[in-house]
Amino acid sequence: MKKLLLLPAILLMVFAGCKQPFGKSGSLETFIKQSTMEKVIKQLTDSCGEQSKFRIERGVKQAAFLWKKEDGTAADFSKFCSENFISDSAQLFTLFSKLQTAFEVLYGNFNKISMDLRIPVDLDGPALTPVDELFAAFSPSAHLTDDLFQNKIAFITALNFPFYTLQEKTEQGVNWTRTQWAYARMGDAFTSRVPAELNQKASDALSKADMYISEYNIMMGNLVDAKGKTYFPADMKLITHWGLRDELKSHYVGADGLEKQKMIYAVMKRIIDQSIPEKVINNKEFQWNPIDNKMLKDGKDVPFTPEPDKRYEMLLNNYKAMSAVDAYYPAYPTYIQRSFELNMEIPQADVEKLFTTLMTAPEIKQVGELISKRLGRPLQPFDIWYDGFKARSSMNEDDLTAKTTKLYPNAGAFEKDMPNILRKLGWAPERADYIASKVQVDPARGSGHAAGAYMKGDKARLRTRLTPQGMNYKGYNIATHEFGHNVEQTIDLYDIDNYMMSGVPNTAFTEALAFLFQKRDLYLLGINDNDPNKENLAALDAVWSCYEIMGVSLVDMQVWKWMYDNPDATPAKLKEAVITIAKDTWNKYYAPVFGMKDEPILAIYSHMIDNPLYLSNYPIGHLTDFAIDASLKGKSFANEVDRIYKQGKMVPQLWMKGAVGSTLSVDPMLKAVDEALKVIK
């Protein structure tokens, strides 16, 4: 699941970069003119020497771009630069140390406040009230950036720590020291100046979308077919889309499996086109036949009103909130560019090319044919989630659930067992206790997520859904995934050399460790996979997972491009566009493998609604996970994870070189699949 970020506007600014030198372009007119910049640059260069010229030019332009009329006159700007530029290296390091210490205090405490305010909406508990939702949407840090500019701390930072473009970081960073890297990340801290009210609106839109998804449950025991037959336990309640997907994946074995899968897919399609009866969402009062779309009570049809395109209203609200700040990022004038080039630090076109290269590889069709053969039937659209290459695919999930509920009757039991989990993965007892002590486990209201701390002394949060009986296998599987996030969040916060280097290159790299933990879930239960073909099966599973989520990511990208081209669209028009884009993507990349056209399944993902343009992190995470896992052969899992994740926030390609010795690519996975197809029949 997602790695939850609760300070999006602030933190994206602090851990972001800039595309080009300030002062060259921009849709917002700068108050400080070019002539003033040049004069200040010359004066400082004459005073400090040519050895400081690069920092002077970058710093002055960066500060000038951010300076507004209310910050002072042009003369005030010149005086500020003269008094606050530091050329001495020792004094510069002192400034850096004080800034990063203060930022940890600020961002860490604001994150903790936000997390605590969200407890009613994030954790399982009483029904939500309007005030709970208001506090969850409230952003206590919304005015922080304004305050830092007003008291000139932001300007001091921007003046003294030059930003570097992504290309510069990639080309020059290979030779940088850790301190130089930390200085570069400090230079990323203030590259825009978004008004507080826009930050608050973005936080509000994201929070409302998250609450909408968190409360979007389907009462599975109330689903019936045309004959009134039910297929699922009476008390089963599944969140869309994660719970529905995981339940579908669990029915590749057992009685009525295909019928259950078809019913779940029918539910998904009703959600996508919003023909789902509004009153069956999170409501036990009615039965529902999703295939014929009939709502029933006491066995009789009941008239209903479909959900009023609320799903697409939430998506549209996120677009409006994110695009409202475009003018404040002249080098990245769309949220799409900021998501990829600024946050992921991989250009969107490069990500798309990486994905389509794998999706159109001939191996994909061969894997599809293998799956069809193993199933003994033609592929169905929902077989994008085929789970038969995993060891657990041949196991009865009820048996696994019996084991996990006994082990973990509540969230506290899982938290207590975390040191033991880490020891099983190779960490020494003292180190295992240390990492586990930094993680808190809570029962989630929604699907579950991991939320990292942003200061030492605070804990990362692991939240997973629990049933009244305890942690079922699905919840346990999710919990191991989220624990992987938490381990990453702990290592690269508590063990990092500089706070400005804390974290990972982008969220795909925390997804990678989460996947590495998740795929070891059975081993952690004491169930060993002795299949001699397990590596071949793992390669097939990885490539099929990538194939699935890459297509969804392409839909996500195209939908955002469509919204930018149609800024005045209604929710109804957006719904139509999303479904069209999903079908077109299916027809291009899936129909040749599945043999059917116009399937909308790629539009079901909840992250499209509550976590804008996050989806691409998953396939990048899968590719990273695959490369790291391959590099672990013959090595200590624990030692390698510690080594790799102590690199911190470098740019992705250099991080990958440090981790596994090569850059990000689909070639290793496809090569492994070629070998697997020779063996697995």
The reported pLDDT for the residue numbered 79 is 97
Q: Which residues pair with 449 in a beta bridge?
A: 463
The reported pLDDT for the residue numbered 91 is 98
The number of angstroms, rounded, from the C-alpha of 663 to the middle of its chain's C-alpha atoms is 21
Q: Report residue 501: phi and psi, to 5°.
A: -100, 5
Count of C-beta atoms within a 10 Å radius of residue 44: 23
CA–CA distance from 393 to each of 251, 265, 364, 400 (Å)? 9, 19, 20, 11
Q: What is the DSSP string of 61-114?
A: HHHHHH--GGG--HHHHHHHHHHH----HHHHHHHHHHHHHHHHHHHHHHHHHH
Residue-averaged pLDDT of the chain: 92
Mean per-residue pLDDT for 650-655? 95
422-450 residues labelled b (16+ CB within 10 A) or e (exposed): bbbbbbeeebbebbbebbbbbbbbbbbbb
Q: Report residue 239: phi and psi, to 5°.
A: -80, 145
Cα(602)–Cα(268) distance, integer angstroms: 10
Cα(660)–Cα(231) distance, integer angstroms: 46
The dihedral region occupied by 72, where left means phi > 0, alpha psi between -120 and 50, and beta the remainder, is left
Q: Which two tokens stand for residue 352?
A: 């798309």
Q: How confident is the model at residue 530 (pLDDT cuts 50, 70, 90)?
A: confident
Q: Which of 8-17, 51-60, 555-564 has the lowest mean pLDDT?
A: 8-17
664, 354 contact by CB (below 8 A): yes
Per-residue pLDDT reduced to its tens digit, 304-341: 999 999 999 999 999 999 999 999 887 789 999 999 99
Share of the chain above pLDDT 90, in %: 82
Locus of tokens 């295909």: 258
Residues 6+ apart with CB under 8 A from 239: 213, 214, 216, 217, 218, 446, 447, 465, 606
Mean per-residue pLDDT for 109-114? 95
- What is the amino acid identity at position 375? L
Q: Report residue 631: phi and psi, to 5°.
A: -75, -15
The reported pLDDT for the residue numbered 26 is 42
Cis peptide before 241 (omega within 30 of 0): yes
622, 615 contact by CB (below 8 A): no
- Which helix (DSSP H) or strand (DSSP E) does residue 527 occupy? none
- pLDDT of 2 above 80: no
User: In degrees, to the nearest 5, what angle opens at C-alpha 536 toward C-alphas 531 and 537?
Assistant: 70
Q: Which of 113-127, 429-443, 561-575 has the lowest mean pLDDT?
A: 113-127
Mean per-residue pLDDT for 146-165? 95
The reported pLDDT for the residue numbered 393 is 62
The pTM (predicted TM-score) of the whole model is 0.84
Q: Where are the alpha helices (DSSP H) in 165-273?
A: 166-172, 178-187, 196-214, 242-249, 257-272
Locus of tokens 């040191």: 419
Mean per-residue pLDDT for 153-164? 96
Q: Which two tokens stand for residue 411?
A: 């969230």
Mean per-residue pLDDT for 357-381? 98
Q: How confident is the model at residue 22 (pLDDT cuts 50, 70, 90)?
A: very low
Per-residue pLDDT reduced to its tens digit, 37-80: 999 999 999 999 999 999 999 999 999 999 999 999 999 999 99
The reported pLDDT for the residue numbered 125 is 87
Q: Which of 4-18, 50-64, 143-157 has the lowest mean pLDDT?
A: 4-18
- pLDDT of 666 above 70: yes
Mean per-residue pLDDT for 266-288? 97
Residues in the chain: 681
Cα(259)–Cα(231) distance, integer angstroms: 8
Domain spans in the chain, listed from the N-terminal domain onward = 8-187, 213-272+275-308, 335-389+532-679, 395-524
Q: Which of 49-63, 84-98, 138-152, 210-224 has the lowest mean pLDDT?
A: 138-152
- pLDDT of 17 above 70: no
The reported pLDDT for the residue numbered 465 is 83
CA–CA distance from 201 to each of 321, 323, 332, 609, 611 (Å)? 6, 11, 20, 16, 15
Pairing of strands 300-302, 439-443: unpaired
The dihedral region occupied by 396, where left means phi > 0, alpha psi between -120 and 50, and beta the remainder, is beta
Per-residue pLDDT reduced to its tens digit, 200-236: 899 899 999 999 998 999 999 999 999 999 999 999 9
Cα(373)–Cα(386) distance, integer angstroms: 12
Task: Of 16, 472, 42, give the one whose Cα is nearest residue 233.
Answer: 472
Q: What is the DSSP string of 649-671?
A: S--HHHHHHHHHSS---SHHHHH
Q: Which residue has the higher pLDDT, 253 or 79?
A: 79
664, 624 contact by CB (below 8 A): yes
Cα(154)–Cα(63) distance, integer angstroms: 9
The reported pLDDT for the residue numbered 395 is 77
161-195 residues labelled b (16+ CB within 10 A) or e (exposed): bbbbbbeebbeebeebeeeebbbbbbbbbbbbbbe
- Which helix (DSSP H) or strand (DSSP E) does residue 464 occupy? strand 460-464
The reported pLDDT for the residue numbered 394 is 65
The reported pLDDT for the residue numbered 136 is 87
- pLDDT of 20 above 50: no
The reported pLDDT for the residue numbered 390 is 79
- What is the amino acid identity at position 48? C
Per-residue pLDDT reduced to its tens digit, 608-642: 999 999 999 999 999 999 999 999 999 999 999 99
Q: Is the dihedral angle over the CA atoms 571, 384, 1, 132 positive or is it negative?
A: positive
Per-residue pLDDT reduced to its tens digit, 380-391: 999 999 999 976
